Structure 1
Amino acid sequence: MTSPSGPSRRQVLVAAAAAASAPLIAAAPAQAAGAARPRSWDLTLLGTSDTHGNVYNWDYYRDAEYDDSKQNDIGVAKLATLINQIRRERRGKATLVLDAGDTIQGTPLATYYAKQEPITATGEKHPMARAMNVIDYDAVTLGNHEFNYGLPLLDLWIRQLGFPALAANAVNAKTGKPAFLPYVIKKVSLGFAAPTLRVGILGLTNPGVAIWDKGNVEGKLRFDDMVATAAKWVPIMRARGADLVLISAHGGDSGTSSYGPELPNENPVALIAQQVPGIDAILFGHAHNEVVERFVTNERTGAQVLLSEPSKWGQRLTRMDFTLTRERGRWTITKKAASMLNTNTVVEDPKVLAAVRAQHQKTIAYVNQVVAQATVEMSTVESRYKDTPILDFINHVQAQTVTEALAGTPYADLPVLSQASPFSRTAVFPAGDVKIRDVAGLY
């Protein structure tokens, strides 16, 4: 087998682009307690996930700085400040930065450059590519929401990134070959004349894409079981020289699914750690939970696999720290641990803000356009348990849209029923001007 030359989506990608990976910054050896003890080095992994189009610490629906009951902050600009602080504190020691997916959907900012001025039509760089390129990630995993706007937009976004996008279990439906880069092996430099640490990074996306974005992927992509895919690729990565194996997975750790058995498990991360030998740690996302540090015992080797999930929207940053020694030509992890950093402790990184400022301001102008008038204020506060006009509005629009679409078809005379849920419990149409942001905040 030969290594792929780059992360082109339509090529057959069966190996990591190790030779093309740039070496990371050097890590200094830790001081040994005694002459007889082997030298040790350390590696830090910083992980983000489920940023969902948040760059600024901004609530586009309220047209104000983001705030919630727990005083969380959000956005890639806040994550960048924490990441840069840790890079400075480590003074040249080896540091990796990964993301576990759901990046290009979730805010009016992301929607604007997918729908109103799609990057596929304008050629403009996506705001999440701009922001993440400033941070200089080492790899990102594709989340299920990366497929929301179709494969052409996803392909272009991947090409705009300055680092690999991974999804080993997304397979070309016709050829059975990987549709995206499955993994990379990063050469981590430990200094002049020091041994090189080779870190394998495997990306796994969520099988639920086959249901949730059926219209975009049916007949084009197949989404294989995440556990079986890890079992396939981890030995290949080890055979190709990976000293340490990390997985960046877009799936929760509960072992359950929101759908039935027709698709592979939606949240299998703990099962991957338990059943697949050779994995050292897993950064994961999808469930929007904060899992600081969890160890799962591999049932075949007894090894402790470290797991961590950094909440959502850029509220948290996972930090994993590994201590390694090298004896008889082999690397051994002697210690690993995870901690969680809160982005409400720092200011936004000015370089990230500057990179996205024009797009942020254009989005704010767009969502503040007036699109309707309301004679009275309408709120979703009571919509969970009583009939409210604001949800009646959703049902009316849905039923009207479907009725118009059925006109002139064999189904035109069928009755149209509509169901709506109060996705937001705080949305309000004010009396008077109703803006795009009010409508977007409702649904």
Structure 2
Amino acid sequence: MLNTELNRTGETRRFAGGTNQNLLQQVSIQSSPIFVVGCPRSGTSVLSLSMGLHPDLWVSAESNFLVNVVNDAKAAHAQCTTRGPRHWLSKESVGLEEYLQAHGLGINALYMSRSGGKRWVDQTPEYMLIARELAVTFPQARFLHLVRDGRDVVNSMINSGFPVEWANSFTKACQAWNRFTDAGVEFEGFVPERILRLHHEEIKADPESQFKRICAFLELDYDESMIQYYAKKKVVNSSFKQKGTTKSSWRKSWTQGQYDYFSKACSGNMQSFDYEVEDVPLPAGGPGDNARTEPGLPQVRFGEGFYPDEGGMVWSRRKAVFTLTKPPEAERAAFAFRVSCSLGAYYDAFPFVSTLRLDGEVIGRIPFQQDNHSMPLLLDLNGDDSEVEIEIETPAGFVPSKVSDTPDDRELSLLFSLEAVELVQDGEKRTVTGSGVAVSARS
């Protein structure tokens, strides 16, 4: 690919690093930069490093800042076109696409000022989530979309030790993998001629043929140096190496509950990427497997629509049912929950309410406001069993654009956390928490 050069006269300034640079004296633009995208922990690091071994390519660290550049540019264009011809962008007929491309020219020049004139490669996985905007901002860019078996990705996520939500929650890791794979599938349909899907496992199995595919797609001559990381089986950016732990596959470290959750939540995207989700017997235990029915314990049995998370049980449907059971020897049981609301991308749906029914009768309505996303819920039982039904009522005209059977950061969802159960027996009160309550995800 040839570089397009724009010559301008600029001024010389002294930067914080103490070096003199002649700004804008010669701006060089790469017509077809390369983005390596995919879900984090999919192998994007080793693929990008391998790309950097090609003599005509240049790779540096993950950039991340383009998320802010793109989002700020979109917000600025929306704000600065509200007054019609009294705003410069409107008067000069600068649409959002042209405005983004203008930002892209500056970023492109910045990369080229560091690449030594080589074609640059960006290796930021999270750009999968803004790939459509990047395709507009860099109208001739090419994208390498790396996918990997979701079980291996999630296993790597929860062992990464990264200071991000998905590193500390199995369910959040599953949701993150779904979010990235959804974005990848959508983007492949947006500009199919500019994106190449690659499987991490296929590159490991036959790096030479896969890198020849890559070079053909990028209109590069193949260079055998690109395969050395894979050929020598070098470990790059390993979760387990960073944490000082012994590598353990999901088959050895996951519980049956975790595998069942992944299979239900992620099977659709696994199939989209040609991975098979088979029945695998794993050790018992884990989320949703503590389905105890001891008669001496108060019990909470969550039904369909609930999924386990470390903080409690997440519900992501409009209506759901769970059952509360009072120990027969107790005269009364009061179940104290904390209910938290997450609207994800539907923040503007506030305020809304949830109607609560106990054994078919309406006993209350839970209001959720923008400044109050969490509130207590006390359910008092006199009978042995009671069925609780909760239904979300949203404002007229509010229709989520995504309907799913699993919780997702972009969906409206409620998190139920059982804090305690107060029992009255023989006139005496006692409070039980934790293992003193039998909680089950299976109705």
Structures share fold, TM-score greater than 0.5: no
Greater helix share, 1 or 2?
2
Question: With structure 2 as the length reference, what TM-score do the two structures score?
Answer: 0.29
Question: With structure 1 as the length reference, what TM-score do the two structures score?
Answer: 0.29
Higher relative contact order (CA 8 A, sep 6+): 1
